[in-house]
Amino acid sequence: MDHRRRHFSIPILAWTVRAILLGLLIGPVISLLTFLVAMAGEIRTHHQWILLLIPLGALVTALLYQKLGPYLKDGGSQVIDLINQGILDIAHPTSIGYEKDRDAHKQKISTKMAPLLLLNTFITHLVGASGGKEGVGVQVGASIGSYCSRLETRFLHRPQSIQQKGIWLISGAGAAFGALFNAPIAGTLFGMQFSNPRVNRTDALLPCLTASFTACMVSQALHTHTLVPVRAEAFPLDFPTLLILLALSILLGLASRLFCHLIHLTKTLFSRITANPYKKALLASTLLLLASLGIFALTGSFAYNGLSLDLIIEAEYGTTSNFAPLFKLLLTALTIGSGFIGGEVIPILVIGATSGAIFGQFLPIPVSALSMFGAIGMLSGSTKLPLACFVLGLELYGFGNPTSLFFVCSVAYLFSGRLSIYERQIVPVVIDPAWDV
């Protein structure tokens, strides 16, 4: 009895300590990332002429990657691959495929990744490209987890299994996501599922949960600014309303499918035009600048550049333009095509929130709720993570009708297709492929 208790308690204690230390490291780094993005946005707001430097920013970003290592541009894919190799190790530790990929397991996340991501994200938001910050945050969190794993290996002189390395990466990514939104539960689910929604890594539940809560508490203690939407208004759910939500959710799923296809198409298109990274960055960023100036000529505002968080707040009051989703989608696609760094989650939230708010004038549902459904539903379809997005919606909006939100997240996911914003994510087949829309 004592022998079994010792083997049960020691790993729990060890991973709890590891996760707390990891959260203590990630919290300040996420706070730094948020500060850099906010400072870049403030500088650009006071000096709007900086927007004219979008092509220069794209060229500098491309130059940094070419000089420090082009492989660093695929840091997110590398993190997902390493986590999924751990899943393969658990399921088939002696498989032929696993043996062939053994060299891939030995690759390490470069120590250059985190500093380079922070710098390039600052450049992205300084010149006014339409990017986010959660993609960088997740990569930075995972890279910190990788660093900690390697330090522990050196300190204890004992190699770690691929499964253990994966837990470090999962915990780091989940903690960063949770700290970015002050949503520790969503961060936990995100870390456990984002690399492979088919597999729920319950072996990482304790460390991911602990790291996520720790990182959130540390970042909030440092007064990190996170997205704080208007509380969505609850409403009674009856059968006619359920049918309305069904139609809305299908549209959101198709919108997320359009977003993913457009992002992938943009990357492919500019790569086909030229393989030269500098020419590609210059071409796409010039189009981004022209689009930004064109939108400014139409609206008199640069609100669609940068994070555009104000558009989410406006959407919840029903005061955004009907063209807001289209403008933000166009700038986001060109930003990613230009090679700027940031992420797609916040742009998706903006596009979804403004899209949902458009229906406020037609549907008997509060516009604040429609805006939330648009943001979270489209994110669910684009990330293929309906459970994590459902919890994120509850933690962000404090919504009083979880049944409606869960329904929207699920249906939007079912109609979102197979493409995800995470290119190397192993996306589950939700319906018979022959039935694909």
Mean pLDDT of 297-305: 94
Residue 191 has pLDDT above 90, yes or no: yes
Residue 305: closest CA among 350, 246, 242 = 350
CATH architecture of 239-435: Orthogonal Bundle (1.10)
Q: How confident is the model at residue 219 (pLDDT cuts 50, 70, 90)?
A: very high
Residue 158 has pLDDT above 70, yes or no: yes
Q: How confident is the model at residue 75 (pLDDT cuts 50, 70, 90)?
A: confident
Percent of the chain with pLDDT over 90: 67
Rounded Cα distance, 102 and 210, in Å: 30
Give per-residue pLDDT as tens, 140-150. Answer: 999 999 999 99
Residue 431 has pLDDT above 90, yes or no: no
pLDDT on residue 220: 94
Q: How many CB atoms lie within 10 A of CB 105?
A: 16
What's the chain's average pLDDT?
Answer: 88
Question: Quick check: 262 and 333 in contact, CB under 8 A?
Answer: yes
Residue 8 has pLDDT above 60, yes or no: no
Residue 1 has pLDDT above 50, yes or no: no
pLDDT on residue 435: 44
Q: How confident is the model at residue 243 (pLDDT cuts 50, 70, 90)?
A: very high
Mean pLDDT of 415-437: 70
**What distances in angstroms separate CA 46 from CA 42, 302, 409, one per listed residue?**
6, 12, 38
Give per-residue pLDDT as tens, 385-400. Answer: 999 999 999 999 988 8
Mean pLDDT of 286-295: 96
pTM (two decimals): 0.91
Mean pLDDT of 312-331: 93
List the structure tokens of 268: 């492919």
pLDDT on residue 427: 65
Mean pLDDT of 361-367: 90
Residue 95 has pLDDT above 50, yes or no: no
Residue 432 has pLDDT above 60, yes or no: no
Q: Which residue has the higher pLDDT, 91 or 279?
A: 279
Residue 98 has pLDDT above 80, yes or no: no
Ranges of each domain in the chain: 2-221, 239-435
Mean pLDDT of 35-45: 95
